[in-house]
Amino acid sequence: MRRYFLLFLGVFLLSLAANAQISVKEGSFKEVPGFVNITSRQYDLNYVPYAVIKVRTENITDKERRALNFDSGNIATVFFELEYKDGEVWVYITHKASRLKISHPELGSVSFDIPLEMRPKAGYELVLVNNVKAVNAGWGALKVSTIPENGATIKLNGKVLKVKTPYFNKMMAAGTYEITVSLEKYQTVTKTIEIVDGSDNDIVIEMPFAHGTLKVTSEPAGATVYVDSLSRGKTPLVLDDIITGSHVVTIKKSDNYPEHAELYVEEGKTYEINKTLQPVPVGALSGLFAINSKGDKVVFAKGNLQYNPKEKIWRFAEHQWDIVGAGNANISKKYAGWLDLFACGTGNRPTATTTKLPYYFESPFFDWCVNKISNGGDKRNVWRTLTSEEWDYILNKRVTMSGLRYAKAQVNGVNGVILLPDDWAAAVYKFKKAKDRYDSAPNKISLSEWESVFETAGAVFLPAAGLRYIQDYRGGGEAGFYWTSTGMNVVKFDNNTFDSRTNNYDLIVVEYEIPYYGSAVRAARDVK
């Protein structure tokens, strides 16, 4: 808040000067380039430009500082505007002023001749000191701590201490002290205390969070907003409790690529983020997964690859947890149902089951995903099967926001593994340590929870689809085998012990010894 003064001729009480306790610290007046940018109030009432003098105070409380009076030394053409800051007063003064007189009803007055000609819109400073004596003789102890946490910067009577809270001094001279504590993300708080001889003063100062306001909009609307990994609601969204400091904001919506923004929030300010979310390709999930150290990324298909032999139709499963299961035992060229377990590299002959040499892998590998997929877009050759090196990077090497890459879980009653995208927010779901088997695992995620939370955040679910040995179906619900495009390598997982908090789990890339085992395929698509 600012005060405005038009100064006329006046005489200060002689008693104030006679009993003055305040003085300007010798040599403290100097020009400080760049400390202030005069924009809102540039000129006095005579349209003469202001200069600004930052009056820093020592041994003067906030209450005493606000009672200070400023005079030009009986020059009626000098105007003032005051702005109170933490531990100081900014004096906007007609730049032609040559004298500054400062007075206080209890602390006396001081007249200061400005030692140089001030420039328009320039910044200066001086130090005003209260040469106060202790109200009592003797010493007391002082301890200062802050809530909710220590580590705050401390000012005692305007002087910044080298140590931070908690602060303890058992030899404080008796007297009045103004204690100011400040810490990033918290409001600055000032408290005045009186220390008397022999006293033990344990001061606990509560520092409320300092907040700014964040407004988030997106096109399309209805996207989930994460602030530092914590879901805060859907767009359009207004949040007036954003703690000051640095934040990462993520905006996600199913069928769209996520958007990210970094911002530094200052107290009382409003920030706006408006993002246009780009749609992901037909048949793809929104989660992005790095596949190498260069930063190349892919998105995964919405479900496992399926094939209808009679109709010669390829498609992605309708849901991520959908598996054909025992229906794969009916594999034949005339089968009218769906299959989702295929022998190695048989993309051009998906119903082949021969156990005789030459095996399929001895001929050029044929990727199942290069076939036209009915619900995977209009173009061929946009989907592919990842290499074993790319799968290994996703599972074991990529850097994620949460520190987790995958987790064992049951989704809609189906056992499997959740692949977490690079920007997965740890606060979205707290995974628990799994037991020996799926049926005892605590990470049981309902259909509604999966659709509203996990799929929105771009998570991928690989169901335990089992495997096919010629025309014998095995391991459904207990194990998963997913082809890579490298030789006979597959990604394998089963119901062995897994601790999702440490990523210690038997989810590995291994080589099959028998190429006619039928395994699942989860297609991926490169992100340009």
List the one residue out of 404, 499, 519 whose CA is nearest residue 454.
404
Q: Would residue 290 count as lying in a domain?
A: no
Strand partners, 276: 219
Distances (CA, A) of 168 to 59, 202, 371, 474: 19, 9, 74, 70
CB distance 466 to 323 below 8 Å: yes
Mean pLDDT in residue range 316-330: 96
The highest-confidence range among 136-140, 211-215, 345-349, by mean pLDDT, is: 211-215
Tell me, yes or no, whether 469 lies in a domain: yes
More confident residue, 503 or 465: 465
Q: How many C-alpha atoms does 98 have within 13 Å on its Cβ side?
A: 2
Residue 294 lies in a domain: no
Residue 15 DSSP class: H
Q: Which pLDDT belongs to residue 4?
A: 42
* Same domain assignment for residues 126 and 144: no
Per-residue confidence (pLDDT) for residue 432, from 0 to 100: 73
Confidence of residue 9 (pLDDT cuts 50, 70, 90): very low
Distance (Å, whole) CA 335 – CA 330: 7
- Residue 434: pLDDT over 70: no
Mean pLDDT of 485-502: 71
Instruction: Check residues 4 and 238 and name the one with the higher pLDDT.
Output: 238
485 lies in a domain? yes
Using CA atoms, how far apart are residues 429 and 424, in angstroms rounded to an integer? 10
222 and 166 co-located in one domain: no
**pLDDT tier at 5 (50, 70, 90 boundaries)?**
very low
293 located within any domain: no
**Nearest in space to 200 (alpha carbons), one of 233, 171, 179, 180:** 171
357 pLDDT tier (thresholds 50, 70, 90): low
**Among 226, 243, 276, which residue terminates a domain?**
276
Provide the number of structural domains found in the chain.
Answer: 4
For residue 451, what pLDDT is reported?
87
Given a cut of 90, is residue 375 above it in pLDDT?
yes
Same domain, 220 and 202: no
What would the mean pLDDT of 247-252 be, rounded to a whole number? 90
Contact in structure between 229 and 401 (CB atoms under 8 Å): yes
pLDDT of residue 141: 92
- Residues 155, 185, single domain; the answer is yes
Q: Please say if the pLDDT value at position 169 is more than 80.
A: yes
In terms of domains, do 315 and 439 share one? yes
Instruction: Examine residue 289 and state whether it is found in any structural domain, yes or no.
Output: no
Same domain, 114 and 167: no
- Predicted pLDDT at 106: 84
Strand 406-411 with 414-419, pairing:
antiparallel
Q: When comparing pLDDT for 31 and 59, which is higher?
A: 31
Q: For residue 169, what are the CA distances in angstroms to 177, 202, 207, 509, 514?
A: 13, 11, 21, 62, 76
Q: Provide the residue range defining the domain that includes 60.
A: 2-130
**What does the pLDDT read at residue 436?**
47
Q: Is the pLDDT of residue 152 over 70?
A: yes
Element (H, E) at 394: helix 388-396
Say whether both 200 and 217 belong to one domain.
no
Q: What is the pLDDT of residue 15?
A: 36
| Residue 261, H or E segment | strand 259-265
For residue 280, which amino acid is it?
V
Tell me, yes or no, whether 62 and 182 share the same domain: no
* Structure-model confidence comparison of residues 196 and 1, the more confident one: 196
The CATH number assigned to the domain holding 272 equals: 2.60.40.10
Q: Are both 226 and 272 inside the same structural domain? A: yes
Question: 374 and 521: one domain?
Answer: yes
Write down which residue in 130, 159, 192 finishes a domain.
Answer: 130
Q: What is the mean pLDDT of residues 35-59?
A: 80
At residue 1, does pLDDT exceed 60?
no
> Rounded mean pLDDT of the chain?
85
Domain assignment present for residue 71? The answer is yes
Secondary structure class of 426 (helix, strand, coil): helix
Show the tokens assigned to 282.
Answer: 């037909």
Which domain-ending residue is among 206, 227, 254? 206
Kindly report the CA angle at 201 between 195 and 207, in degrees rounded to 5? 110
In a shared domain, residues 456 and 351: yes
On whether residue 427 sits in a domain, the answer given is yes
Give the pLDDT confidence score for residue 2 in this predicted structure. Answer: 44
Same domain, 325 and 465: yes
